[in-house]
Amino acid sequence: MLISSASRLWPSYRAGACLTVDLSAIVANYRTLKERVADSICSAVVKADAYGLGAAYVAPELEKAGAKEFFVAHVDEGIILREHVSPDARITVLHGPRPQAAADFVRYDLRPVLNSLEQIETWRNEARKMDRSLEAALQVDSGMSRFGLSDRDVERLSEEAALLDGIHSTLIMSHLACADEPENRANSEQRQNMLRLASRLPAAPLSLSASSGIFLGPDYHLDLVRPGAALYGLRPCATQPNPLQSVVRLQAHVLQIRDLAPGEGVGYGLTYRPLEPRRIATVGAGYADGFSRHGAKDGCVWFGDYRLPVIGRISMDSMSVDMTDVPEGLLSQDMTVDLIGPRRSVDDVAQAAGTIGYEVLTSLGHRYHRTYVKR
């Protein structure tokens, strides 16, 4: 069932490619994760506009499926999200409050994650200004050295309780650095570090695992999990089968088909020159649409069961593919090929480009016509 063709984006008859987002698959993935964590709360991470897929479409469906906790990175993401979920939904902002933005957290009912003593001071001052207790999550650095309160910070908080005056801690969280590597001992070390640090703070529910951490087992689920990439079909562990449904399909239009003689060059730098006659197509998507020049030689698109290798360099707005194996009777003007689809996942695209599926999803451009569907 078609839910919406996003009118703010290019219409299908003008766009170079069409991106279909399967909201039912996102909901199914959420339910799969929720079942796996049993009694723990399963939240939903919708930062970066739901990993590039449109939080305004994704978040309401997740809330209908039972999600009551949402996580974003920046305060403005939270402000925008507040328009699309119910007043009862809790929105947590991972980067915490900057001094001049603290009042906006209160105004839009956003819970900050406090990552430092400075952010705690900012939030304590805001509570004093509001003359009431304000809710917050506390993040501890369990070993990633990115966000969170250090051992020394936690020690000071345990010795000076007044530092948390006016702050109602409703979550203590941390983040795993190697959750996609199940055998890495850093995972168990971080878990122990988090539990040790949390024991020195005011009691609150605990959260450690994001997408990959969920698959480390019940010991890592604690009170709340924070899946993001897994909701959108990305593989939680590279060495294990993906238990999640694919969420996106990206079909690009063929703008031109031509025959290539032996020795003729293709694209910038003329880096591809065939030794025999080939038939090539120019496809209407390029690096401005999220397809990196790096690793292009390992890339491909699909037309039905035909794998079409990318040849030459990917341009800003287009790429060239070898269509020699496709029977001439199947060729047509304005035909489409799958850049992402049943035969090529987001993770496959990432592997060819030497990156991760997170980057591919969040880099998909805004020049696509977007369609949201539910089954």
- Phi (first) and psi of residue 301, to 5 degrees: -130, 170
- The question of whether 47 is a catalytic residue gets the answer yes
Helices (H) and strands (E) in the chain, counts: 11, 18
- The question of whether 374 is a catalytic residue gets the answer no
Q: Which of 30, 47, 220, 272 is catalytic?
A: 47
316 is in an annotated binding site: yes
- Phi (first) and psi of residue 24, to 5 degrees: -65, -35
Task: Tell the burial category of 199 from Cβ atoms under 10 Å away from its Cβ (0-12, 13-18, 19+).
Answer: exposed
Are 222 and 210 spatial neighbours (Cβ–Cβ below 8 Å)?
A: no
146 is in an annotated binding site: yes
Distance CA 66, CA 227 (A): 14
Are 69 and 135 spatial neighbours (Cβ–Cβ below 8 Å)?
A: no
Distance CA 340, CA 317 (A): 17
Output the DSSP codes for 323-368.
-TTS-GGG--TT-EEEEEBTTB-HHHHHHHHTS-HHHHHHH--S-S
135: its two tokens: 């809710």
Angle, vertex CA 141, rays to CA 136 and CA 161, nearest 5: 50
Are 304 and 329 spatial neighbours (Cβ–Cβ below 8 Å)?
A: no
Q: Which residues make up each annotated binding site for substrate?
A: 146, 316
Catalytic amino acids? 47, 268
